Amino acid sequence: MQAYPHFSKRKVEILDGVWDFCFLGESVNLDTVDVRKAVYKEIMPVPGVFDVSPDYPGKRGTAVYRRKVMTDPESRVKLRLGGLGLWARIYWDGNAVGTDDLPYSGVEFEFQSGKGAEHELAILIDNRLDFKRTPLFSQYYDFYGFGGIYRSVELHQLPKCSIERVRVTTLDIKTGLVSIDIALSGKIPAKFAFNLAFDARKDEGFCESVKDGHVRIEVKVPKFKLWSPEKPNLHTVSISTMDDEITERFGVRQVTAAKGQIKVNGRPQKLLGYCRHESHMEFGPAQPLQLIFEDLQNLKDLGCNFVRGTHYPQDQRFLDLCDQLGIMVWEESMGWNNYPEHYADRNFFDAQVRQTQLLVRNSYNHPCVIIWGFLNEGNSETESCRKMYSTLFKTIRSEDSSRLVTYASNRAERDLFFEMCDVVSLNTYPGWYAKDKEKARPLDEIEPCLDNFIRHMDKRGLKDKPFIISEIGAGAIYGWHDRYRVHWSEEYQADFLGICANYAVKNPRVAGISLWHFADARTYTSSYALGRPRTINDKGTLDEFRRPKMAYDVVKKAFHGKKNK
């Protein structure tokens, strides 16, 4: 499955397959490394991560992937990478053409192909934990930092003037009026002549002035149908010239927040769902389509209409499928409990801004994405961190004013920045990381803790902002049962999630919930793992192989509006 956008006129080669592979070592100096000297005795799949493979399990170091590609001589080419980690440098015929320090981000590199038709493409990957090189990922994050090429790689041969992306923004849900923003690159004319066709219908000719490489027009989508979670109608728009054509898919829909509610096309939606990591014991983040699809089937079966894609930009195929299935998504850039010292670091600050901007640009046309987020559980209680938060809000809002913006806070009453949000989101673990360790029944902490926070919001004047419980959960080891219904047993987790899911369903002050989390996932392999049996974050309602735990049926009943006994 190739995610949107599609390009039907230019030469596009999907480079997925088997590449040559060489693991260079654990202490390679990246300033002096010469990829031309690599000796390729092995092969590896792309997409794929070497550190889940039986030959390199858990290995950290530097590796290089290589393959041959063909292009027309002296052509302008673009390499589109769906996402990789943790850090990469790209070489074309032995020369560096770009670096990527944004794990999971979709990135592009444009360059000249040079002489001849056959070329060597090499991607140097480094998955060592180094704050300087990869400021967005640190060892203490509670999810595994994989090494490899996570998603598809495409090579495009570009015409003289190429159509890069088209952004479609709904302006009026009554008439189907949308704005179309076409981004061009290469030899850009002062006036751009193109054809536009919705849903592969007859096209219409336009000739418009270009401003800063963009053409903007407003048009009505003929015979449009609104996108909603209940009826996920989609449209396509194709923009074409003599030598290039792009097709983007979009939905006509409007997202708003008012009086504590989140609305799609003016209709209140209660968001019921899960946080989900793109992680699997065998594939890491290089998810087969079948896995993504089955995860979504499970979520649908659970009664979910919402997924929070934690804690990084999501696979575009996942978002395409959510568009089709009517699952609303919160997508966020990467962060995990970052400190004021991180925000004070120029590299980190800059990488946050770049990844957040790319997040919005790459996923702009997905109607399923209704919320943008960033800095999961960052330090939002210290005044010196305000600049990082306000900059990210500004970054998103200057790219997109059609969605809601939030961040998942774990600072509760101490949080200083809720006022900046469209939606207030709280990660909280009463009854798990319990405050009162003397309590005989920690489950009793859950409802009062949530009630208290809602009272705090009201007192603070935040009553009109929708409230999402962005994380809440408890660990359970798959197959471990206990009549005491204690911590780590499937029984405890089922009781716990039952309380949370029912609370969210019944309480009108809760606009949404994303339970922590959908499926068990690999985490730390250091002593941070104490409290993470098997080095897995086992708060999944399904285990790491997607086997349902007891909580599955309990949540399913609650989300389907049925009362648990």
End-to-end CA distance of the chain: 43
Helix (H) / strand (E) containing 18? strand 17-25
- The answer to whether 277 touches 521, Cβ cutoff 8 Å, is yes
Q: Which is nearer to ligand ADA, 365 or 470 (CB)?
A: 470
Q: Binding of ligand ADA at residue 142 (CB under 6 A)?
A: yes
Pairing of strands 521-522, 536-537: antiparallel
Query: Residue 341: which residues within 8 A CB-CB, separation 6 or more?
Result: none
**Least distance in angstroms from the C-beta of 465 to ligand ADA:** 21
Does 427 help bind ligand ADA (rule: CB under 6 A)?
yes
**HSE-up of residue 81 (Cα within 13 Å, Cβ side):** 29
Window 472 to 531, contacts with ligand ADA (CB under 6 A): 516
CB of 79 or CB of 86, closer to ligand ADA:
86
The tokens of 342 are what? 């991180």
Tell the smallest beta-carbon distance from residue 394 to ligand ADA (Å): 24
Check residue 409 for interaction with ligand ADA (CB under 6 A): no
Q: Which residue is nearest to ligand ADA (CB)?
A: 142
Both tokens assigned to 443: 């489950």
Q: Fill in the DSSP letter of residue 211.
A: B
Position 150 contacts ligand ADA (CB under 6 A): no
> Would you count residue 425 as binding ligand ADA (CB under 6 A)?
no
Contact 192, 159 (CB under 8 A): no
User: 356 vs 427, which CB is nearer to ligand ADA?
Assistant: 427
Long-range contacts of 29-36 (CB under 8 A, 24+ apart): 30/62, 30/89, 30/124, 30/126, 30/133, 33/62, 33/124, 35/64, 35/66, 35/91, 35/94, 35/122, 35/124, 36/94
Closer to ligand ADA by CB, 408 or 505: give it: 408
Closest by alpha carbon to 219, among 161, 175, 266, 259?
Answer: 175
- Min. distance of Cβ 116 from ligand ADA in angstroms? 48
The reply to whether 274 sits near ligand ADA by the rule CB under 6 A is no
Work out how close the CB of 376 gets to ligand ADA at its nearest, in angstroms, rounded to a whole number: 5
Taking CB under 6 A as the criterion, the residue among 156, 167, 403, 539 binding ligand ADA is: 539
Taking CB under 6 A as the rule, does residue 363 contact ligand ADA? no
Among 126, 164, 315, 377, binds ligand ADA (CB under 6 A): 377
# chain residues binding ligand ADA, by CB under 6 A: 9
333 binds ligand ADA (CB under 6 A): no
Cβ within 8 Å of residue 345, ≥6 positions away = 131, 135
> Among residues 296, 250, 272, 259, which one has the least CA distance to residue 402?
250
What is the secondary structure of 497-533 as a DSSP string? HHHHHHHHHH-TT--EEEES-SB-EE--SSGGGTTSG
User: Can residue 376 be called a binding residue for ligand ADA (CB under 6 A)?
Assistant: yes
Q: Of 56 and 516, which CB lies nearer to ligand ADA in the complex structure?
A: 516
- The answer to whether 379 contacts ligand ADA (rule: CB under 6 A) is no
Contact positions with ligand ADA (CB under 6 A) in 431-460: none
Nearest approach in angstroms of CB 314 to ligand ADA is 15
Name the site residues for ligand ADA (rule: CB under 6 A): 142, 376-377, 410, 427, 471, 516, 537, 539
